[in-house]
Amino acid sequence: MQLQATRLDELVRDVAQSLHAEVESRGLDLQLRVAEAAQQPVLTDPKRLGEALRHLLLHALRNTVAGKVRLGVQAQSEGERIAVRLEISGSPSEQADPLRICSLAELADEAARQMARNSPVGLIIARRLIEMLQGELVTASPLERGVTLSVHLQLDPV
């Protein structure tokens, strides 16, 4: 792992910019909400975190029929560390299988079987990257409202 001083606001904007063509081709609106506290540098591996966010955003974009996908970043001090929450949400696709989207634990446990059936491999990759960063990927979605993926990290300030 390559820990570096990283501004989460810049990382999130870079990831969103890298997916601009995907957003445009799907006729969606990608909204970023970055809290002011997320502008201070933290110690993390920007390559791994950026790749995880990219996979999560792609998943949300590919499973959203119309409207918007939101990416929010919150940060707050908890003792000597910074608690970071990145939340990605979108409306469900008519073709998407909501159970497949929301049962992330099953996806990880049965990765080989799922991959053979054209599963969202990006979620599995994102989960592994986030775990490498000592973080947690949580799904909390009422099925009728789409998918909400949250990344929870505890990072050191620089």
Residue 29 is encoded by which pair of tokens?
């609106």
What's the pTM value of the predicted model, to 2 decimals? Answer: 0.76
- Nearest CA-CA partner of 48 in 108, 1, 82: 1
**Domains delineated in the chain:** 4-157 (3.30.565.10)
Query: Looking at the DSSP assignment, which residues form a beta bridge with residue 119?
Result: none
Cβ proximity of 6 and 20 under 8 Å? no
Q: How confident is the model at residue 141 (pLDDT cuts 50, 70, 90)?
A: low
Out of 10-19, 86-95, 148-157, which region has the weakest mean confidence (pLDDT)? 86-95
- Nearest CA-CA partner of 147 in 104, 106, 108, 92: 92
Report how far residue 143's alpha carbon sits from residue 113's, in angstroms, rounded to the nearest whole number.
23
Residue 37 is encoded by which pair of tokens?
């506290």
Check residue 99 and give its pLDDT: 43
Phi, psi (deg, nearest 5) at residue 133: -90, 10
Rounded to an integer, the average pLDDT of 114-121 is 48
Q: Look at residue 50 and tell me whether its pLDDT is greater than 90.
A: yes
For residue range 59-115, list pLDDT tens digits in order: 888 877 777 888 888 888 876 677 777 677 766 544 444 444 444 455 444 433 433
Check residue 113 and give its pLDDT: 40
Check residue 18 and give its pLDDT: 95
Contacts of 20 (CB under 8 A, 6+ apart): none
Q: What is the mean pLDDT of the chain?
A: 77
Check residue 92 and give its pLDDT: 56
**C-alpha 63 chain-centroid distance:** 14
